[in-house]
Amino acid sequence: MGRRKKIVQECERLMDKPENIRNIAIAAHVDHGKTTLTDNLLAGAGMISQDTAGEQLAMDTEEDEQERGITIDAANVSMTHEYEGDNHLINLIDTPGHVDFGGDVTRAMRAVDGALVVVDAVEGAMPQTETVLRQALREGVKPTLFINKVDRLISELQEGPQEMQDRLLSVIHDVNELIRGMTEEMDDITEDWTVGVEDGTVGFGSALYKWGVSMPSMQRTGMDFGDIIDLERADKRQELHERTPLSDVVLDMVCEHFPNPLNAQPRRIPRIWRGDAESDLAETMRLVDEDGELVLMVTDIGIDPHAGEIAAGRVFSGTIEKGQELYVSGTARQNRVQSVGIYMGGEREEVERVPAGNIAAVTGLKDAIAGSTVSSVEMTPFESIEHISEPVITKS
């Protein structure tokens, strides 16, 4: 069996284990490093299990992709990551980086349960950091923080350990002020969602040079900020990357700190759906029941040159399969599912079925638009996704 086929099988196995799934978005102010970080995670995950991940196999992946002429369109990508001896399926939904796509950012947030907020260490929290945080929190999506471009503090700004620490703590402080202000009025968020170094909900590093650290990673690798400053100053970035790879730090943080669908849906459903909370449908959505009625929220419509329109979205209940006749909110007739797939490293891969808790790529939903509720029974649609307006920020 080919390697790719094995990976698809592994993803299909993990799709049925909601406790091992993390649906996440990376959100950032423009130019803070979201694209570079996303590329890093994909390369780092290598789409192979960490057990067998070696230089050779990682290389194979790239060669394979080059040969097949795949260019990754990061709208939706899935990867697997081994954390504490257990493989996890991480579905990453891209959020457009520009302010004028505010509506799309919120749509992406509807499909995920965790948002990794990336902030440039030099610039600090910017207006769009606030907007993406607001979009995440309004959807009941939990934030964590990655402070990027730390290499610039060391190499360009020549900061020492104390100065660096002060600057990083001030970024964390600013982000927490925003989170605190926004969650104050939210009764359904009972946990403390502010981020901190001590509990590992903050990571630091350089997406450009592919290294990262967090409190748990420092404990694991034995590397502290002093070592990092020394290596970065000595221009030993490859060594830094090898000793404390960014993708491990970030993907461990994702697995540890973001809720899985079983934890997230009971809290998120009342926030995004105003139907009868006592109904069976509400119950199957809260429980992520793959045997319940099918409920899918479409977050994005893409065009595939061969397959035509593809509706991507989060399955909140039931299992989507080829041949199902489904209702599409706002239209009178039903649509027939032509195919279902998942995204693997950015490429759509057809599968037999996609159960609740996952992101599905569906063809045949002719009447669906981004924001549609698609279901096997007629139902109250999800709350419409509100566009959060913000001042236009020009790129400097």
CA–CA separation, 81 and 251 (whole Å): 7
* Residues 259 and 112 sit within 8 Å (Cβ to Cβ): no
Closest contact distance (angstroms) between CB of 148 and ligand GDP is 5
* Residues 79 and 47 sit within 8 Å (Cβ to Cβ): yes
The residues binding ligand GDP (CB under 6 A) are 28, 30-36, 97, 148-149, 151-152, 206-208
Q: Which two tokens stand for residue 179?
A: 């989170």
55 CB neighbour count, 10 Å cutoff: 7
CA–CA separation, 379 and 375 (whole Å): 7
> Quick one: 126 or 307, whose CB is closer to ligand GDP?
126
> Quick one: 119 or 137, whose CB is closer to ligand GDP?
119
Closest contact distance (angstroms) between CB of 205 and ligand GDP is 7
> Quick one: 120 or 300, whose CB is closer to ligand GDP?
120
Residue 269's closest CA among 342, 356, 330? 356
Residue with tokens 């990357």: 241
166 CB neighbour count, 10 Å cutoff: 10
> Quick one: 116 or 296, whose CB is closer to ligand GDP?
116
Closest contact distance (angstroms) between CB of 164 and ligand GDP is 14
Q: Is 8 helix (H, G, I), strand (E, B) or coil?
A: helix
> Quick one: 11 or 207, whose CB is closer to ligand GDP?
207
Closest contact distance (angstroms) between CB of 309 and ligand GDP is 26
> Quick one: 41 or 365, whose CB is closer to ligand GDP?
41
Closest contact distance (angstroms) between CB of 208 and ligand GDP is 3
Q: Helix axis angle, 161-183 relative to 127-138, nearest 10°?
A: 40
Q: Which two tokens stand for residue 162?
A: 């104390």
Closest contact distance (angstroms) between CB of 121 and ligand GDP is 8
Q: Which two tokens stand for residue 202?
A: 């903050």
Torsion sign, CA atoms 255, 258, 261, 263: positive
> Quick one: 146 or 273, whose CB is closer to ligand GDP?
146
The helices-and-strands tally (H runs, E runs) of the chain is: 13, 17
Residue 248's closest CA among 222, 213, 215, 224? 213
> Quick one: 207 or 231, whose CB is closer to ligand GDP?
207
Strand pairing partners for 86?
83
Q: Which two tokens stand for residue 264?
A: 């997230």
Residue 24 is classified by DSSP as: E
> Quick one: 208 or 223, whose CB is closer to ligand GDP?
208
Residue 344 is classified by DSSP as: E
Closest contact distance (angstroms) between CB of 250 and ligand GDP is 12
The radius of gyration of the chain from alpha carbons, rounded to an integer in Å, stands at 21
Pairing, β 142-148 against β 114-120: parallel
Closest contact distance (angstroms) between CB of 238 and ligand GDP is 15
Closest contact distance (angstroms) between CB of 173 and ligand GDP is 21
